[in-house]
Amino acid sequence: MAIKYIVIILVVAVAVTLVAVFLTPSEPVTDNAVLTALSADSLKPPADTKALRRELTLLQRDLKRLSPREPYIVINTHASRLTYRTADSILFEAVCSAGSGAELIDSTSGRKWKFDTPLGMYKVTSKIKDPWWRKPDWAFIEENEPVPDDPQERLDPNVMGAFAIGFGDGYFIHGTLYERLLGVNVTHGCVRLGAKDLTWLYDKVRMGTKIYVF
Amino acid sequence: MSSKTALPPLGIGSLILALALTLGACGHERASAQDGEPADTETVRLRQEYALARAHMELARGEQTYLEIDGAGSELHLRVKGAIVFSAPITFLPEDSGSAGDLINDFIEDLFTDDQVISFVRERYLYSHSQTIPDSVLAIISDATGAAPELLQRYLPERFIIEWEGGVVLDVRTTAEGKPVSTFSNIMTEIRQVIKRPFSSHLVVLMDTDDALTLFNVCEPGTPTVVTLGE
């Protein structure tokens, strides 16, 4: 009889423990020690209702200005999609390829590269017809070829397609010889598009068009 | 691929703002009470709108992609620097009994309080998914590009959950036919969800597979979440 009670008590104890474990939140995202040390004075809303209404109007105006008035490009690296859109509607959508995230280390010099498409907000900084690729060092190291001293040996006229749209620090939206790989993130950081889609986009965008990469 | 992710460092600006707004609002209420001038309904509403607008502004100034819940439009948006970069409709499963508006409003009320205008994703859990690229093709692409197969593979989620602080859960289902990531973990997570369900909102939605893929990948722990600003 005593054993029966002990078993029941044990089962109840285990059940209570399990419930407690399941209901205990995992590590909190916010760090209260940091947060409680902060001063909120600068973020307090104005005490006076009139001033509050005025501040709110200014704030909402500033927020509206953040949203681009002109159509903009969005590169969704997660789904390999490039869209040309406004805040309310998508004007154009294409399958693209972005950076693979792979790493390359030069065993001789120890230099490292990570082939990511940079995230954030950019603007179109160049529009180039019939672009030539000026191969960086990693293009040779990746192929186990010596890095040439002559700059002419770095130029390749055949790999970027008919157009290139520049953004950020040397990145481009350009064409590809391997359209079958569109939809898979295989690039070294640039964004590849199919020939028809690239022609459409090149015609629409202008210098300064905003590009958002996420 | 691990289905459960560790917490990454948060955007400290967002974090600071969340608490500062909370403390600010609380402090202000206390000050008003001490002054013997209880705030009227209009002032309270304006303060909440102000706090929300400040939250949007601070998030737009940061680098992190953030999630916005548009209750009136029944949509989820992702924003970068204030611009909408992704939108997905909130579609309920046919068997869900409540009205869409009520369900979303309950969800939003549980996610945000009067004093808290930003909530952070606490964790995400992937139940099941399917591969988009067959292994044989993946091996060829990997060989040709030099990138590891695990970097190239894309998994379409069949079901995943996103959980915020306070235990509020968005349970996303898609039409993809997937395989369980881990049967044991799925059972344990499901039991945990069943136990927690009476205490907080658990919104089950149906989503386009590509949208779900994007949402799952973006909403890593620490992702700030706000409700849409009213007009």
d(C-alpha A178, C-alpha A159), whole Å = 9
B195 closest CB neighbour out of A22, A120, A186: A22
- Which residues of chain A does B19 touch, with a Cβ-Cβ cutoff of 8 Å? 30, 35-36, 38, 40
Mean pLDDT by 10 residues, chain B (231 residues): 41 48 45 54 86 90 93 92 94 72 83 82 94 86 82 90 92 93 94 87 92 95 89 57
Using an 8 Å CB-CB cutoff, list chain A residues near B195: 19, 22-23
Q: Using CA atoms, how far apart are residues B52 and A60, in angstroms rounded to an integer? A: 10
Please indicate whether residue B27 or residue A83 has the higher confidence score (pLDDT): A83
Q: Answer yes or no: are the C-beta atoms of B218 and B78 closer than 8 Å.
A: yes
Q: Which of A39, A68, A181 sits opposite B141 (nearest CB)?
A: A181
What value, to the nearest 5°, has the Cα angle with vertex B133 and ends A135 and A172?
25
In chain A, the residue whose alpha carbon lies closest to the alpha carbon of B132 is: A184
Q: What is the radius of gyration, based on Cα positions, of chain A?
A: 27
The confidence band for A21, taking pLDDT boundaries of 50, 70 and 90, is low
The chain A residue lying nearest B140, using CA atoms, is A181
Interface of B with A in 157-216 (CB under 8 A): 165, 167, 191-192, 195-196, 199, 210, 213-214
Average pLDDT over residues A139-166: 93
pLDDT at B29: 44
Q: Are A76 and A83 in contact (CB under 8 A)?
A: yes
- Please give the Cα distance from A162 to A198 (Å, whole number): 8
Q: Is the pLDDT of residue A34 over 70?
A: no
Residue A77: what pLDDT?
96
Report whether pLDDT(A39) > 70: no
Render B128-168 in DSSP notation, one character per residue: EEEESS-HHHHHHHHHHH---HHHH--EEEEEEEEEETTS-
Confidence at residue B2, expressed as pLDDT on a 0 to 100 scale: 39
Name which of A43, A67, A103, A211 to mutate to probe chain B: the one with the most chain B Cβ atoms within 10 A of its Cβ: A43
Q: Is residue A107 scored above 60 in pLDDT? A: yes
**Average pLDDT of the residues in A7-31:** 64
Report the pLDDT value the prediction gives residue B220, as an integer from 0 to 100. 94
Query: Hey, is the C-beta of B84 within 8 angstroms of any chain A C-beta?
Result: yes
For residue A43, how many C-alpha atoms fall within 13 Å in the half-sphere facing its CB?
25
CA distance B122 to A157: 49
- Residues in A closer than 8 angstroms to B86, CB to CB, are 74, 76, 214
Instruction: Identify the bridge partners of residue B146 per DSSP, sorted by sequence position.
Output: none
Chain B contacts in chain A segment 15-54 (CB below 8 A) = 19, 22-23, 25-31, 34-36, 38-45, 47, 49, 52-53
Distance CA B96, CA B103 (A): 10
pLDDT at residue B81 in the model: 95
Q: How far apart are CA B144 and CA B136, in angstroms?
A: 13
The Cα–Cα gap between A58 and A68 comes to 18
CA-CA-CA-CA torsion sign (B113, B75, B65, B49): negative
